[in-house]
Structure 1
Amino acid sequence: MLGRFLVALGGLVVVALFAALLAPFFVDWTDFRSDFEDRASRILGKKVTVNGAVEARILPFPSVTMHDVTVGRDDNGEPLVQVARFSMDAELAPFLSGEARIFDMRIEEPKVRLRLLENGTLDWLRGSNPAIPARTVVLESVRVSGGTVEFIDEQTGRIRRIESLQADMRASSLAGPWTIEGRGVLDGEAGAFSIATQQMAEGSAALPIRTRLMPDMRPFTLELDGTIALKEDRPSYEGRFDARWLADKEATVVNGVKPPRPPEMKGEFSLTNEAIRIPSYRLELGDADNPYAVTGEATLDTGQEAEFLLTAEGQQIDVNRIGNEGANGKTGRDPSLSARQRLMGLVARAAEIPIPSVPGRATLRLPAIVAGDTVVRDIQLDLRPDGGGWTVDKAVAVLPGRTTVEASGDLRLSGDMSFTGDLLVASTQPSGLSQWLAGSVDPAIRGLASLGFSARVDLTPEIQRFDRLELAMGGATLNGRIERQSFVNSKPNITFDLNGNAVDLEAMQAVYSLVAGETSAESFFAHQIGARLTVDELTYSGVTARDVDTTFTVGEEGISLEKLEIGNLGGAVISASGRASGSLLDSSGDATLRVRAADPRPFLEIVRSQMAAHPALDRLVENAAWFENADLTARIAFGESQGGGIGVRVGGTANGSRIDLNYLGEAAEDLFAAPAGQMDLTVENADASILLGQAGLQPLPLPLDQAGILTLLIAQPEGDGAAETTLTFTTDDASVTASGQVSLQAEDFLRGQMRVDIDSSDLAPYLLAGGVQVPALLDGLAVKGGADVAIGDTTVAAEKIVGEIAGTPISGALTVDRGQSRPKVTGELSLGILDLAVLAESVFGPLSDPATGDRNTQPLGMASIAGLDGTVKFTTSRLSLGVGGELTDVSGSLVLNDGSLALEDISGTWLGGTATGRLALTNANASGFAQLKLTIENGDLAAVTPRPGGVPAATGRFGLTLIGEAAGASVDEILHSFNGSGSAMLREVDISRFDLTLLPALTAMFDAEETEITEASVREAIGPLLARAPVRLGDVSVPFNITDSVVRVQNLTVPAGTATIRTDGRFDLRGAGVEISADVTLDAGEEEVTGAEPAFRVDLIGDVAGPLSEISVTDLTNYLSLRAFERERRRVETLQSNVLEKQRLRREVALYRALDLVREETRLKEEEARKLQAAEEARLRALAAERRAREIEEQRLNATPDDGSTGTVAPTGEIEAPEVPAADPAAAPGGGSGGMPVPAQERVTRGAPLPPLKFEGLPGVY
């Protein structure tokens, strides 16, 4: 810009000087043409020639007009200045006073040629010696129109032109000051200018001048304030400059906030013919009180080797302080713009920057640019002009999201804008970059730890080419090439050839949206596409495919899939190819798809996750194990070849099954919307159990060793109506057919009406394969029958059930409600026979060990009725209880509750009476429980007692009440842990062959025979006596309790006429063993014997049907023996009584004699003791008196009293006699006691233990 200003300034100065120097020639009008040429030549220092006509007049004011005036010649003979017409008007009065006042001067179509020589001087100054006259000349108005200035720079070979020059000038003298205002077009760029000069100081060769430039297409003004001087004939212009950007005229005050101040640049400059130098400058933006400043320097070498240098360094830019525009001023971005649009906008703005026409280098360094919450850091630009653009040596910036952008290459801004070079974009926080670019973060980008690419790019508005591309998205890396072309009036196209370790299509789509600004996949497929992609892992919507190799094209003619190879998609190997043409709603084509999978479950789970929810898909996934080693090939044809519909043929094998499927639909676009169509499926396998699994059931892996065929025919009408469906399963010994109308829609899948018929000679293997436990008690399970089945939203109802199961007729109706957390069965059934053991096995599993036949001790398995609830009312002719016989004419309810079974409200005939009650069996987590409540009324006692010899052991009626429960982890434990209680009421009880009136006959028998009484003889005698007659007991209440499956009766006492029966008993429910002990006490009457009772015990031990009896007669034998002993004892006692009386009298006489002797001996001893004590006391008193007398005498002789007395002291008080020990009776004369003589063996030694007492006789009595 400054170079252009220098050229314009030189041309204007020449024109102004030329016009001003002509004015004085109007003073002398004689020989005007020649004098004008001479004087003008002297003033300008160049030859001036007037080639055209000259017109002059004096009145009313002096005026002159000249045509075709030239000034000087260059080396080529071309005039330096050529003016088409020159005219001026002057005032007459000033001329008379010696002053030339020109009030109007007009210079039309001047052409100036200025040449800068190779040595840096102007050819205008070469050989010039101008002489400006000192006369006063005033120029009030000088107008230049249609001027042209041509500046030829021989140093660089460039030519600059100023055209359409218009100017208004005025000056108070030729020496100044001058004021010039005008317009012109410099090298095609129009603008206005103004020049103001001052007079040169005396002795100075510098002209002070202020210039202002105002380009039309540039939003700024430039003011230059300095001096122009000649140094060695080389012009220079030095001073200061001030550039100001123009304020937006439409900017208004918003919410009291004034619009930001426009940027302003100030600095120093120096212009010479060789260089334009800006030693320093300062660019200020934003608030005037606290502006943002950029400083630097610039140099433009305009010499022979033109070159420029521009450096700019600034502090951190806060755009909020500088000012934003638009609704997005906070962040300085528009989220609706894509990265491509932002790039094109940036290039468009860069195109507005003037490109220097000389070589050079520009460097920009900024630490950061802050715009609201957006920070662009570490900005570095190294640029070189290159004709119509820039050569970018290095461009670096850190964008939001920790995104580093580096670029180098050629940026073309004129003509077709383009960039060719290397581009690197690397973000370590892709979510931040997305938030900044798009205003939101795609979930696929949020999951990326890094994002970036590097490539050799060629970018134009029509073509975007990325060669040597390396694209990194997280841990995924792609290498290859991408090119996009978009020309006017043609469909855009994209081609790419990529390979790498992994790619996430959702992440790639999100990145494409950021770059292209289009969020829909349709925008991508709106292109014509030619693609090849080879990756180790390809992920989309959470699904990962490995070893992917594909080639496809998308164009106006349709889609062509040349190849798709997937090495692992959920464990499946997939290959596909195909083509399609036409529109989406009217397309034609064909495709081939092959799927191979050893374990298809992961692949089927992927298919289910990507398709609309459907129960059939769920079941297919659940039963995927039955399709192992699948190898299926599908051939698809649609469109014209299928009459506008679609045809699918699938063939192959899976788990040994041969599969053949044919489908024909009417509309290809409605393939997944239940279109009208027909399908037939045939599956054959040598193992029919596999067919059950492939049909959607959940069988156990138990081979059936029978081949089977499964066929399915479906005819779907138009609309949402039910489909005509027929399903057939056939083997050698079984056939199942279901036909009717069912819905195939997801929301009401399989709802409809069907007729189901079954015929099997043994259905047990199929039920076992289906996971249904068949009771081991059933030897084969022949089933034949049918039912009308209605499938509703949550219910399956079987009406009109008629058939036979294991030879038992069955009829009724059942309904299964699937809407509950567990299926619930309700209904009514009529059965021929019902076995309780079968029901128990359905809960607890096998009751017996299959190997030994004993009760099963293995842990309980899962109940076959687990997961099933319901209540079924039933009637049956017989309910088998095993060893308990049968209930007949039974009615009740079968209640199921997730592994538990209860027979509620049972009523029937049992043991000759009416039985009611409840039985509950539960299997909870392999723990078994049983509960029983039983009531029997008016039962026949003879039916439950043994019948030895065909005669009932007891007769009468009975009632029974029983409550009990059991628990255990096996069948054996449950049978061993039954506990409860109850009571039995016996009425009119007679016990046969139990005559309890036998005692008189028994005693009479032993009294008469006088035989030896032993248990054997008594037992032999009592048997025939008991069997003589029954005993009548009447009504008896028998309470009992049950512990560990043993029924116990304790302390039961029953009166029986002349006897009392006390009974204890136990009955083992586990083995039907009985132990009864009855203690019978007979009434002896007057024959009662103390210490013995006439009693005996009867023990019954063994099986309840025929227990062994044993009679214990110990007590009865003792009674009879004691009775005989008492008779003998009374006789002996009579004989002994006389002898005993005599002995008593003799002992009494001896006693009295001994007492007299003892009393006499005691008296003598006491008298002797008194005499000895008196003598001893007298002796001791004499001794005491003598000792006292000696003491008094000694005191008298030894004492000398003060009063002259003799010192004799009279004794006072009494003399104490010494204590005399008691006399020892043993010390008496003779040493004898004088008492009764005692035998040596009966004597007592002092301190020794006493001898034992004996009372066989009286002391002293022999």
Structure 2
Amino acid sequence: MRRAGSRIWISLAAVFVVILGTLAIAPRFVDWSQWRDDIAGTVGTLAGRAVAIDGGVRLTLLPIPSLVADGVRLGEAAGGRAPYFARVGQLEARLDLAQLLVGKIAVTSLVFINPEVDLVDRLDGLLPDSALPVEQVRFVGGSLGLPWFEEGERLTRFDGEVVFNADGKGWRITGDFHHRSLPWHIEAALSPGPTSAQLGVQLGARGGGPTLRLTGQVKTDTGAFSGRLRGDGDRASELFFALGLPAPQPAKGRLTLDAKVEGDNDIIRLEGLTAALSDQRFQGDIKLDWTGENPVLVVELATSRLDVEAWQVNRSPALAPRKGNIRIDGRIDAKADTVEWNNGFARAATFKAALSGDILTVTEAHAQLPGSADVAGSGTFDLAAPHGFTARIEGGADDPRPALTWLGVTLPIPEGRLRRVSAVADLSGDQSALDIRGIDLAFDGSRLTGDISLRRGDRKQATLALHIDRLNIDAYLSAPDLSGPEPLAWMTDWDGSARITVDAATLKALPVPNMRLQAKLDKGIATLERLEGGTLSDVYLTLGGSIDRSKWPAVVDLRGDISLPDTYRVGQLLEIPLPGVLGRPLPFKTALSLNGPANAARIALAPAWGKVQGQVLGPLDLIARTGRVDVEFDSASSIAVLAQLGDIARRNDEIDTPASLRGVFSFGPGRWELREIKAVLADLAASGQVGLHEGKYIGGLGVSALHVDGWGGPLTTGNDLNAWIKALPESQIALRFGSIDAGNIGMNDVSATLETAPGTLSLGQITGKSFDGQGSGKLTLTAGDEQVSLDGALEIKDANLATLGGVLFQDPEVAGRLTLTGTAKSQGGSLLSLWRGLKGEAGLFAGEGKLPGFDIAVARKATEAADNEERNSALVFSLGGGVTSFKAGKGRIEINDGVARLLQFDLSFDGGNARYSGAWPLAGGPLVGQVRYDLDGLPPYGFQAEGQSGRWSRRVELPK
């Protein structure tokens, strides 16, 4: 019995194995292609798209009955524009075994193995719209490309399933996928109801990161959706990374998101959106309208604070654009109470724009920048290459510096400039061109108008056509920096032309009217076609030529003519203050030529000034701003030269002589020097050198002779002296004169140190010979409100009394030496009035000496005379000859209104003394003097004299 039972089980097992083998092997010998349409129809119903099976179809009964199709292709949905919806490596349709046994195909679930889905348009057909004849759909190793993805970007490694409700109207999705190497998990469910279905979607990154949740109701009849979108979690950077965007600093913090979601067919709205990334918060509404051919995105956002620097990131290279990418139109209306950036902030920022295809139209862009600058603009921008645009900008500020600093723009303009700025301009261009038209820029009371065009190609090009009504050149433009290995290198990179006019400019505080510049630049060669007009208020220039920067050092070739009615202004322009008479108008004109390499160019000037002709020749180093030129000026008439000077004029009875000036002029930054001076003018012959170093004149001059009374003019006789001294520069110059005479006083072998500063002139360390004695002293002139003050001190030692006496009398009456010490002061508007207004006093001190022409022995005999007649006769004879020795002498001189008065000068001798007195006009005129002898036992007697220029009259005065 046991054996029979065992055989039965063995037989059953064998039959079962045979059946299993048959079920496993038999389908391989059957052609199942007749079921191809049934499988394709089932899948097509699921996808809502046409389905084609390109590969084989086979039936497997074990372990689960299924039809397997290779190479399945899902075509586009109705109205779509995609070439295909998906390609599936292998599709497995699992069958209902009971239905299969009765010869029917009933699919219970579908398995898509390695599906590749590409959506290059909208998301139509991604989920079924009606009940399905399957209970479950699974995806293994799938990938998905979405319309907004860049080429090569996909969702990969998608493993998940869709489970449908029994009635086929509800479903639930769970799955995992990777995007940009990050794992994600998604869950979604649709639960049907009588009038609406409950929809819930949850998306989050595995391993941490924020989670997005969408919940709401779907109307059964219309398909309209109403619900909320919420997001919460740390590391929002995961979302930015998933979208292919670099994550800003706020994304590394916490994300919160809340918005009401309304959907109606092809319109989706996020209303009452509030979002926060770290401490950055936004409110607004977003709308996506896909009722037309292209989606329209409308964004309205506002924030109280936008930190721009926090949102700045280093953008990684983008992927290639996806072919057939969808077009998204839209509008944006963004506002921010404050925009923080670069340690500052802008206020009331507004941006309104509309996007239509590749055209972005900005209707309003406005912000209040730091420093109360107001900037606004509008325009149209083509986002497709070559990115053409047209725009209009306008703005204004009392002081734009804070705004420019906030924008990272540094202007080399001194403080106090760029005030009350307003600007309007029209812009247009593309990637290779920029046109700025209708420029109207007002700043600091000036106005600039015109056009600027910039082009970028094989070479950069610029075209300027500008007009400026007034411009302070020093305040806005600096001299080009020629230092470094490649100065002015930009000239080799740019081509272009410029036409610039300035009605009234200012240079070195001087007016510069009617400037006209026309030039062009071509491959490093700048051609100055026209530079003319007033370069100063009365200086006129015409200049042309070229600067070749195609090599370095550049080659210069300039020629022109300059007319200079006022050389004093030229001195100001070159920062070389011209003192005194040299600071007066000296009109001359010159032809100019400058050519050669920039580091060794040769300058040639041919100046002409009245009857004065000259030439200036020599090399210049324009790079180092140094030079050395030979200077020569000649005139046949000194009188004509002096007349042209204006301030200095000779007497008409002077004999005319030639005039000339020779020297070597060298200069460099902050200095100049005129060496080897040889000058002849009238009776003056001078030599030496003078230079300007660090703003101060230094040097030394030697002059043969100076006859002050022979020179005239406003400085001497007018009222220009005060203004002249106020305009003096700082100087220290050593002077030496062979002789100086002024009126009735003179010195020879004179040396002094001239020191000047604005408002003062001082002659210090004066030494010389006067009355055959050694003289020294100091003289200072100080400008006042209206007049000049003079302070002087003089000391003469070992003066020859005979020489001094010869000033008063025709024949020297005194022999000996004396010392004179005194001070003087004066006020006046000219040199002559100073000289005539001298006030002061001096003391005279003499040692032993002799009085020739006075015989004291004869005078004493007068004491023995019997009567007055005999006495007076003896006194007269005492004045006729002989010599009397004196022991010592002292006296005092008083100066008042330019007249030196010898109040008394007493010489003592045995038996009496001699007292001298007199008046001496220092500025010239008759001299008067007298001497009184006071002897023991006799009344005073003597004589007085009056005369000038050696013509004397003498009269003896005897006691009555």
TM-score by length of 2: 0.67
- The correspondence of residues 396-407 of structure 1 with structure 2, limited to 5 A, is 396-407=366-377
Structure 2 CA distance, aligned partners of 1:161 and 1:585? 51
Shift of 1:265: 3.6
Shift of 1:410: 1.2
Equivalent of residue 569 in structure 1, options 497, 511, 536: 536
Aligned to 2:593: 635
Contact (CA 8 Å) 2:817, 2:849: kept in 1 or not? no
Structure 1 CA distance, aligned partners of 2:476 and 2:505? 11
Amino acid of the residue matched to residue 113 of structure 2? I
Equivalent of residue 805 in structure 2, options 880, 897, 904: 880
Aligned residue for 1:446, secondary structure, equals coil
Aligned residue for 2:658, secondary structure, equals strand
Aligned residue for 1:448, secondary structure, equals coil
Structure 2 CA distance, aligned partners of 1:222 and 1:701? 104
- The correspondence of residues 420-569 of structure 1 with structure 2, limited to 5 A, is 420-438=390-408, 442-444=412-414, 446-487=416-457, 490-505=458-473, 527-540=494-507, 542-567=509-534, 569=536
Aligned residue for 2:875, secondary structure, equals coil
- The correspondence of residues 34-49 of structure 1 with structure 2, limited to 5 A, is none
Quick one: structure 1 residues 70 and 231, their matched pair in 2 at CA, closer, same or farther if it must change by over 3 Å? Answer: farther
Aligned to 2:229: 241
Contact (CA 8 Å) 1:827, 1:872: kept in 2 or not? no
1:274 and 2:266 correspond = yes
Aligned to 1:712: 661
Residues 253-307 of structure 1, C-alpha deviation per residue, up to 9 Å, x if partnerless? xxxx9997255442122334331222321122443xxxx5432223232113767
Shift of 1:869: 6.5
Amino acid of the residue matched to residue 710 of structure 1? A
Structure 2 CA distance, aligned partners of 1:970 and 1:76? 118
Aligned residue for 1:206, secondary structure, equals strand
Aligned to 2:633: 681
Instruction: Point out where structure 1 has 5 or more consecutive residues left out of the alignment.
Output: 1-24, 152-159, 252-256, 327-331, 333-343, 514-519, 609-616, 774-791, 844-860, 901-921, 990-1037, 1046-1068, 1081-1097, 1111-1262
Residues 222-275 of structure 1, C-alpha deviation per residue, up to 9 Å, x if partnerless? 83513574654x5444422246795459x9xxxxx9997255442122334331
1:381 and 2:364 correspond = no
Quick one: structure 1 residues 503 and 551, their matched pair in 2 at CA, closer, same or farther if it must change by over 3 Å? Answer: same
Aligned residue for 2:612, secondary structure, equals strand
Residues 790-810 of structure 1, C-alpha deviation per residue, up to 9 Å, x if partnerless? xx9964568xx8x9999xxx9
Structure 2 CA distance, aligned partners of 1:200 and 1:662? 103
Aligned to 1:657: 611
Quick one: structure 1 residues 445 and 527, their matched pair in 2 at CA, closer, same or farther if it must change by over 3 Å? Answer: farther
Quick one: structure 1 residues 247 and 454, their matched pair in 2 at CA, closer, same or farther if it must change by over 3 Å? Answer: same
Contact (CA 8 Å) 1:294, 1:312: kept in 2 or not? no
Contact (CA 8 Å) 1:453, 1:469: kept in 2 or not? yes
Structure 2 CA distance, aligned partners of 1:437 and 1:701? 66
Aligned residue for 1:444, secondary structure, equals coil
Shift of 1:312: 3.0
Shift of 1:466: 0.3
Amino acid of the residue matched to residue 712 of structure 1? L
Instruction: Point out where structure 2 has 5 or more consecutive residues left out of the alignment.
Output: 1-22, 241-248, 482-486, 718-730, 781-786, 827-833, 863-869, 921-926, 945-954
Residues 140-183 of structure 1, C-alpha deviation per residue, up to 9 Å, x if partnerless? x63153668999xxxxxxxx999777531135665676334366
- Structure having the higher strand fraction is 2
1:952 and 2:875 correspond = yes
Aligned residue for 1:886, secondary structure, equals coil
Aligned residue for 2:404, secondary structure, equals helix
Structure 1 CA distance, aligned partners of 2:625 and 2:74? 93
**Identical aligned residues as a percent:** 13
Residues 1007-1032 of structure 1, C-alpha deviation per residue, up to 9 Å, x if partnerless? xxxxxxxxxxxxxxxxxxxxxxxxxx
Equivalent of residue 160 in structure 2, options 163, 169, 173: 169
Aligned to 1:55: 58
Structure 1 CA distance, aligned partners of 2:173 and 2:372? 56
Structure 2 CA distance, aligned partners of 1:874 and 1:961? 14
1:197 and 2:188 correspond = yes
More relative contact order in 1 or in 2 (CA 8 Å, sep 6+)?
A: 2
How many residues matched?
Answer: 829
Aligned to 1:297: 285
Structure 1 CA distance, aligned partners of 2:368 and 2:335? 13
Contact (CA 8 Å) 2:341, 2:406: kept in 1 or not? no
Equivalent of residue 210 in structure 1, options 201, 213, 219: 201
Quick one: structure 1 residues 445 and 462, their matched pair in 2 at CA, closer, same or farther if it must change by over 3 Å? Answer: farther
Quick one: structure 1 residues 564 and 868, their matched pair in 2 at CA, closer, same or farther if it must change by over 3 Å? Answer: farther
Contact (CA 8 Å) 1:430, 1:446: kept in 2 or not? no
Aligned to 2:91: 86
Structure 1 CA distance, aligned partners of 2:430 and 2:274? 35
Aligned to 1:145: 142
Aligned to 1:178: 172
Quick one: structure 1 residues 466 and 868, their matched pair in 2 at CA, closer, same or farther if it must change by over 3 Å? Answer: farther
Contact (CA 8 Å) 1:431, 1:445: kept in 2 or not? no
| 175-184 vs 410-419, which moves further | 175-184
Structure 2 CA distance, aligned partners of 1:34 and 1:506? 94
Quick one: structure 1 residues 228 and 84, their matched pair in 2 at CA, closer, same or farther if it must change by over 3 Å? Answer: farther
Aligned to 1:927: 839
- The correspondence of residues 1040-1051 of structure 1 with structure 2, limited to 5 A, is none
Shift of 1:360: 3.8
- Structure having the higher helix fraction is 1
Shift of 1:771: 8.2
Shift of 1:875: 5.9
1:226 and 2:215 correspond = yes
Contact (CA 8 Å) 2:642, 2:649: kept in 1 or not? no
Amino acid of the residue matched to residue 659 of structure 1? Q
- The correspondence of residues 740-751 of structure 1 with structure 2, limited to 5 A, is none
Contact (CA 8 Å) 1:725, 1:742: kept in 2 or not? yes
Aligned residue for 1:623, secondary structure, equals helix
Amino acid of the residue matched to residue 361 of structure 1? R
Amino acid of the residue matched to residue 356 of structure 2? D
Quick one: structure 1 residues 944 and 622, their matched pair in 2 at CA, closer, same or farther if it must change by over 3 Å? Answer: farther
Shift of 1:593: 3.5
Structure 1 CA distance, aligned partners of 2:799 and 2:907? 29
Residues 76-132 of structure 1, C-alpha deviation per residue, up to 9 Å, x if partnerless? 999988755313789999x99xxx99999343446799999xxx9989989x7x464
Shift of 1:531: 1.0
Amino acid of the residue matched to residue 404 of structure 2? S
Structure 2 CA distance, aligned partners of 1:71 and 1:714? 100
Aligned to 2:602: 646
Aligned residue for 1:952, secondary structure, equals helix
Shift of 1:432: 1.8
1:941 and 2:856 correspond = yes
| 536-545 vs 436-445, which moves further | 436-445
- The correspondence of residues 246-265 of structure 1 with structure 2, limited to 5 A, is 247=236, 261=253, 264-265=256-257
Aligned residue for 2:405, secondary structure, equals helix
1:105 and 2:111 correspond = yes
Structure 2 CA distance, aligned partners of 1:112 and 1:1106? 141
Aligned to 1:606: 573
- The correspondence of residues 1026-1105 of structure 1 with structure 2, limited to 5 A, is 1072=930
Aligned to 2:722: none
TM-score by length of 1: 0.53
Contact (CA 8 Å) 2:432, 2:456: kept in 1 or not? yes
